[in-house]
C-alpha cells in the first residue's frame, strides 16, 4: 500500500433519465440521474474510483467542491491514509476554512463522500478484494479506527462499538457463506415511479413478479385520490401476501403526512418513507407515534446529513427503518458509525439505492452489516432500481430478488470510459443531442 496519490480528476456525468420519467417522484419530477465522478491516480498505476449522486443541475457545484478538496488528498500515500483513517476523515471534514461550507452536510459533504469512496475503492483494489470483503476481513479494532466518534459518544462509545463487532464474530463465517450462496434480500422501486402510466405499472409489476420480486415500493404524495387508486392497483397486482412500501420524498407537513398515510393504510404499507422534511427529527417522531397503531413504520435517511442527525433520529424513536446512503454520508467511514448505532437501538437498516451507482456501492455496506454487525435479516432488505447498471465495469448482479455478492476487487463504482465520455456534461454526445 505504498502507492502515492499523484492526481485527482473529477467529471460531471449526467444521464437524461427525465426523458422517460425514470426516478420521478412527488418532489423531484424531472431528475437526470447524475454523478460527480472521481478518479485517483497513483504512482504505481493503480487507480481508485468514486462518485456521489446528484439529479442533474448543480452537479457542477459538487465538482467544484471536489476540486477544493483535492489538495488534501494529492500527495498522500495510501498507507498513510488508511493507517490513520479517522484522522484523514477529519482532515477532509474539518479543514479550518472549508468546514464553514458544512460542516459535514450539503454539497461539501457530497464531495467528501465522492473523494472517500475513491479512497476506499483504491484500498480494496490494492488488497485485491471487493470492498465488503476488505471490511469483513478487518480486525474489529481496525474497523473502529476508521470511524470518527466525535459528537456521538453520548450514545455509542468506541468500547461499545468494539463490543458489538467482537460479539458478532460468532457465526460470522456461516453468514459470509450464506451471502456468497444466497445473496442479500432486495426490494424494487422500478415498477412505480410517479410519472409512470397505469399500463407501465401493470406491465412492470407483472414482469417483476415473474422474476421473483416480493417487495415493492410505490411513489406517492402528489395527489391523494390518485395515490389511493395507484396503491390499490399495485396491491391488487402483487397480492395480499407480498410487501408494499410507500415513499413521499418529503412532500408533506407533519399533520398532512399523518392524515394522508392514514387514508392509505388500507393497502397495508410496511412503511412510509420520507413523509416530511428530512431535517425534522421531532416531526418524524410525531408521525411514527401516530402511525404505530396502524402498523405502519417510518423510514428515512437518504437525505440525512450525517451521523449526528441519525443519532438524534434514533434517540427520538423517530425511525423504524434506517436508510443509509453511500454518497450522502461521509462514505464508508460515517456509514459504519450509523450501522453500529442502528444496531444498538435495534432498528433495522434498509439502505437507499438506485440513482447512478448507488446499488453498486451500498451492496457492500449492507453485506458488512449482516456479516459483522447485525447478524440478522428479519425486517431487512436493500433497495434496488434497475437503471444505468450497464455503464459500470462491475455492475450489480441481482438474482431472484437478491443482491449477489460482488467478486471483483474494489467498490464497484468504476464506470466505463466510453459511457463517461458519452454522458459528460455538457460536451458529451448525449448532451449535444439533448440540449437543455
DSSP 273-302: ES-S-TT-HHHHHHHHHHHGGGT-EEEE-T
Interaxial angle between packed helices 331-344 and 85-93, expressed in degrees from 0 to 180 and rounded to the nearest 10: 110
Q: Is 156 in contact with 381 (CB distance < 8 Å)?
A: no
Burial zone of 404 (CB within 10 Å; 0-12 exposed, 13-18 middle, 19+ buried): middle
Helix (H, G, I), strand (E, B) or coil at 382: strand
What CA–CA distance (Å, rounded) separates 383 from 403?
A: 10
**Which position among 22, 47, 109, 352 bears the catalytic label?**
352
219 is catalytic: yes
Q: Is 103 in contact with 93 (CB distance < 8 Å)?
A: yes
CA 106 to chain centre: 15
Strand partners, 273: 247, 299
Q: Is 227 in contact with 264 (CB distance < 8 Å)?
A: yes
Grid cell digits, residue 22: 425514470
Say how many C-beta atoms besides its own lie within 10 A of residue 170's C-beta: 10
415511479: which residue's cell?
Answer: 193
What CA–CA distance (Å, rounded) separates 253 from 316?
A: 18
**Which position among 47, 133, 219, 311 bears the catalytic label?**
219
352 is catalytic: yes
Grid cell digits, residue 378: 428479519
Strands 271-273 and 297-300: parallel
What CA–CA distance (Å, rounded) separates 379 from 350?
A: 8
CA 169 to chain centre: 25
Helix (H, G, I), strand (E, B) or coil at 255: helix
Nearest to 273 by CA among 189, 344, 202: 189
What CA–CA distance (Å, rounded) separates 299 from 243?
A: 15
Nearest to 304 by CA among 296, 313, 295, 291: 313
What distance, in Å, lies between the first and last C-alpha atoms of the chain? 44
Could you list the active site residues? Answer: 219, 352
Amino acid at each position: 500500500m505504498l502507492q502515492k496519490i499523484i492526481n485527482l480528476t473529477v467529471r460531471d456525468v449526467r444521464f437524461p433519465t427525465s426523458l422517460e420519467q425514470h426516478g420521478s417522484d412527488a418532489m423531484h419530477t424531472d431528475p437526470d440521474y447524475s454523478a460527480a465522478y472521481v478518479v485517483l491516480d497513483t504512482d504505481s498505476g493503480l487507480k481508485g474510483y468514486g462518485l456521489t449522486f446528484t439529479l442533474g443541475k448543480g452537479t457542477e457545484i459538487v465538482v467544484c467542491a471536489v476540486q477544493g478538496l483535492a489538495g488534501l488528498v494529492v500527495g498522500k500515500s495510501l498507507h498513510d491514509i488508511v493507517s490513520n483513517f479517522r484522522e484523514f476523515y477529519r482532515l477532509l471534514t474539518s479543514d479550518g476554512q472549508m468546514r464553514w461550507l458544512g460542516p459535514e452536510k450539503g454539497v461539501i459533504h457530497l464531495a467528501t463522500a465522492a473523494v472517500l469512496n475513491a479512497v476506499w475503492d483504491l484500498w480494496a483494489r490494492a488488497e485485491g478484494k471487493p470492498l465488503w470483503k476488505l471490511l469483513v476481513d478487518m480486525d474489529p479494532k481496525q474497523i473502529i479506527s476508521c470511524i470518527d466518534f466525535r459528537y456521538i459518544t453520548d450514545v455509542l462509545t468506541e468500547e461499545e462499538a468494539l463490543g458489538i463487532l467482537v460479539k458478532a464474530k460468532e457465526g460470522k463465517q456461516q453468514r459470509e457463506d450464506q451471502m456468497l450462496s444466497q445473496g442479500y434480500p432486495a426490494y424494487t422501486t422500478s415498477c412505480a415511479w410517479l410519472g409512470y402510466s397505469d399500463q407501465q405499472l401493470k406491465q412492470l409489476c407483472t414482469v417483476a413478479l415473474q422474476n421473483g420480486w416480493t417487495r415493492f415500493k410505490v411513489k406517492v404524495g402528489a395527489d391523494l385520490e390518485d395515490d389511493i387508486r395507484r396503491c390499490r392497483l399495485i396491491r391488487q397486482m402483487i397480492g395480499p401476501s407480498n410487501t408494499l412500501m410507500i415513499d413521499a420524498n418529503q412532500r408533506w407537513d407533519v399533520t398532512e403526512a399523518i392524515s394522508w398515510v392514514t387514508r392509505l393504510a388500507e393497502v397495508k404499507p410496511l412503511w412510509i418513507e420520507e413523509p416530511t422534511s428530512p431535517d425534522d427529527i421531532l416531526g418524524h417522531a410525531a408521525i411514527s407515534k401516530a402511525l404505530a397503531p396502524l402498523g405502519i413504520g417510518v423510514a428515512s435517511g437518504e437525505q440525512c446529513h450525517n451521523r449526528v442527525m441519525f443519532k438524534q433520529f434514533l434517540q427520538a424513536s423517530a425511525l423504524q427503518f434506517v436508510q443509509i446512503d453511500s454518497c450522502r454520508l461521509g462514505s464508508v467511514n460515517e456509514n459504519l458509525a450509523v450501522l453500529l448505532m442502528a444496531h444498538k437501538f435495534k432498528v433495522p437498516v434498509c439502505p437507499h439505492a438506485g440513482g447512478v451507482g448507488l446499488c453498486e456501492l451500498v451492496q457492500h455496506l449492507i453485506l458488512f452489516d449482516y456479516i459483522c454487525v447485525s447478524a440478522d435479516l428479519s425486517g431487512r432488505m436493500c433497495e434496488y432500481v434497475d437503471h444505468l447498471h450497464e455503464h459500470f465495469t462491475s455492475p450489480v448482479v441481482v438474482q431472484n430478488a437478491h443482491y449477489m455478492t460482488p467478486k471483483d476487487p474494489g467498490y464497484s463504482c468504476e464506470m466505463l470510459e466510453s459511457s463517461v465520455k458519452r454522458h459528460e456534461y455538457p460536451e458529451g454526445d448525449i448532451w449535444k443531442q439533448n440540449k437543455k
